[in-house]
Structure 1
């Protein structure tokens, strides 16, 4: 009984700090978040916050996850546009690009920053605390959002394309890795303003390169089975 009370208290405190972190991000941006700002807003000391979060990178990761709900909710509608695995994967990329370039700093924290440990462990812990975020998600979408590694996500997702005859087994990991690096490169360029790109241009450029990468991987005789102009 005492253990249960302690667990409930820890969960309650964890969520207090999470709510404070989300409010701080909405007010100042995730790049200006500090443990002190979050603790002050939550009504506790910084030392208390460190009892529940290893460091600021962990708290930022958890808080950033609260801003991805619109992506996970919209993803099933994008997937429904595709008739085969390649088309569905292109649509999934379109959804991810739309949301990630709308909130670049959030997605940078989730997929590019050093979080001081296992990002998968952090993701698992987040969904153990916010299980309601998974309610109503189709099983294929749930398996995507609960896998942090974007490379593994892609490999798992497009494996079906091999059975459909649209990709060779040996192409899966290469295509998955190349498309991830394309997104990371363009996202870094966009965030650091190394090129003059609007959000829409960044999305369009990423999807164009993803399509080209896929096109080179699909056997020539199978390309006609894919609607490359599918509405993304």
Structure 2
């Protein structure tokens, strides 16, 4: 790696580390360019020499808080005997971690980033490639796709290898699942209902399993 590339990578890590510290100490809603710059030892404006928007830096930092999900997901998938079971279990793992850290997962999967999320994610893994070490080939495609609808749909479509399923029903059920997760996460963030993470997981998974019954009973003809 050229010296200039090493310098850029080092600067990116300075700012990401500073952002992670602020999130840990004050919460993600308190992150600002000024605070990041002060903690990293640079002016806040210097950040924009390396990140187009503050949301991109927050995205990078939020990935650090998703390591628990990335590490636990393979164990959840291994418990499934079929792809339909793996699909449900993958959502159970995702709900468990996202509802425990709603601001983090909002930054990763819902917040406006100003550009294609897949480009930002690819940039992240180009810097932090070590995050992929030890992950199965079944998991890696999910990580490289920050769009919840398409990444979960890819896993659900594998179920067609095991049984006849209607393509439109697959797409509809998958969309229902994503919308249920988004609705619950928004409810948690807005504090419109008193609900702890465990209860949120239970309620969401109940609806997801009901949606799967629709898929299992669909006529593929």
Shorter-chain TM-score range: over 0.9
Structure 1 residue runs without a partner (length 5+) = 222-232
Confirm or deny: 8 A CA contact 1:124 1:146 kept in the other structure.
Answer: yes
The alpha carbon displacement at 1:87 in A equals 0.6
Paired position in structure 1 for 2:69:
71
Paired position in structure 2 for 1:8:
6
Structure-1 separation of matches of 2:72 and 2:103? 20
Q: Deviations over 1:77-111 (max 9, x none)?
A: 00011100011111111100110011110001111
The alpha carbon displacement at 1:16 in A equals 0.7
Q: Deviations over 1:41-74 (max 9, x none)?
A: 0000112111111121111111101111110110
Structure 2 residue runs without a partner (length 5+) = none
TM-score, normalised by the number of residues in structure 1: 0.91
Pick the aligned partner of 2:36 from 28, 35, 38: 38
Structure-2 separation of matches of 1:125 and 1:174? 31
Structure-2 separation of matches of 1:198 and 1:93? 18
What is the 5 A alignment of 1:178-197? 178-197=176-195
Q: RMSD value over aligned CA atoms?
A: 1.4
What is the 5 A alignment of 1:51-62? 51-62=49-60
Q: 1:202/1:195 Cα in 2 relative to 1: closer, same or farther (>3 Å)?
A: same
Paired position in structure 1 for 2:210:
212
How many equivalent pairs are there? Answer: 219
Structure-1 separation of matches of 2:113 and 2:158? 31
The alpha carbon displacement at 1:219 in A equals 2.3
Paired position in structure 2 for 1:173:
171
Out of 195-204 and 37-46, give the one that drifted further.
195-204
Q: Deviations over 1:4-55 (max 9, x none)?
A: 2211111110111111111111001111100110110000011211111112
The alpha carbon displacement at 1:162 in A equals 1.4
Out of 115-124 and 170-179, give the one that drifted further.
170-179
SS state at 1:50 partner: helix
Paired position in structure 1 for 2:199:
201
List 4+ stretches of structure 1 deviating above 4 A: none
Confirm or deny: 8 A CA contact 1:53 1:59 kept in the other structure.
Answer: yes
The alpha carbon displacement at 1:170 in A equals 2.1
Pick the aligned partner of 1:83 from 70, 81, 86: 81
The alpha carbon displacement at 1:220 in A equals 6.8
